[in-house]
Amino acid sequence: MKYPYEKELNGKAEKFCALLNKNGIDASVLKDSLREYSIKIGVKKDNSSCGYINIYYKSSKKTFRISTHEMTDIETTRKCGEIWGNDDTAHNICDYQVYVDGSYRNGIVSYGAIILKNSSEIKRMAGIVNGYAEMNQVAGEIYAAIEAIKWCESNNINEISVFYDYDGIRKWATGEWKTKNSLTKEYQKFIQGTQLKINWHKVDSHSGNFWNEETDKLAKVASEI
């Protein structure tokens, strides 16, 4: 049976398998797994199955995402998520990577940030944001960026790659969006005043990027403390 997005899904799956294999993970496209909007990859470790990764295609935006809910090995799942997340942005990724996210639950705004060096975690940060509840989780993501950058500055780091899932994190910082309240104005002023070189990377939320998912969980847990 022919599917309308067979070429796109097969191409993405083969490319991702090649990246996984290059990084020491045994992966191959699962025979007969192609569907209209998805395809599966089988993953092995030491010749034993670690489960399956599902790749989904959104034709309206021509974008892909993955789901790892059928994976059974935590470490392999984490590594696969990192490789997927870095695939399209690797040319601008420097030694230090910063993942930021925010949460809004039961009227409480919270933030989470994870800082990596060469893809290995070196720092986690999380906390509550007082006020700005009207901005929901966006206020948390702004705070996460500010706190993470402050930490990098205090540790004499000169360049970072920031991974975010809300467009305003970059667009307020660069002036593409107008600042309309005290928090966005403070954020823009802070970013434009830092000596850090910042590379911005948009990550689709809940798309299978391991560190984005981890930061989301971190922000949510902070609201419960």
Please tell me the pTM assigned to this model. Answer: 0.68
**What is residue 33's predicted lDDT score, i.e. its pLDDT?**
94
Residue 136 has pLDDT above 70, yes or no: yes
The class level of CATH for 91-222 reads alpha beta
Domain 6-88 grouped into CATH 3.10.450: yes
Position 104 pLDDT exceeds 90? yes
Backbone conformation region of residue 119, classed left if phi is above 0, alpha if psi is from -120 to 50, else beta: left
Q: Could you read off the pLDDT of 48-98 as tens digits, one per residue?
A: 999 999 998 888 878 888 888 889 988 898 888 888 876 655 545 688 999
Among the listed residues 203, 205, 208, the one whose alpha carbon sits nearest the alpha carbon of residue 70? 208
Q: How far is 221 from 77, CA to CA, in rounded Å? A: 21
pLDDT of residue 203: 82
Q: What is the pLDDT of residue 216?
A: 94
Report pLDDT for 87: 63
Q: What is the mean pLDDT of the chain?
A: 90
Please report, rounded to a whole number, the percentage of residues in the chain having pLDDT higher than 70: 94
Taking only the tens place, the pLDDT of each residue in 164-189 is 999 999 999 999 999 999 999 999 99
Share of the chain above pLDDT 90, in %: 68
Domain locations along the chain:
6-88, 91-222
Strand, helix or coil at 195? coil
The pLDDT, as a whole number, for residue 120 is 83
As a whole number, mean pLDDT of residues 119-132 equals 92
Cα 107 to Cα 55, 113, 136, 156, 181, distances in angstroms: 35, 20, 8, 36, 19
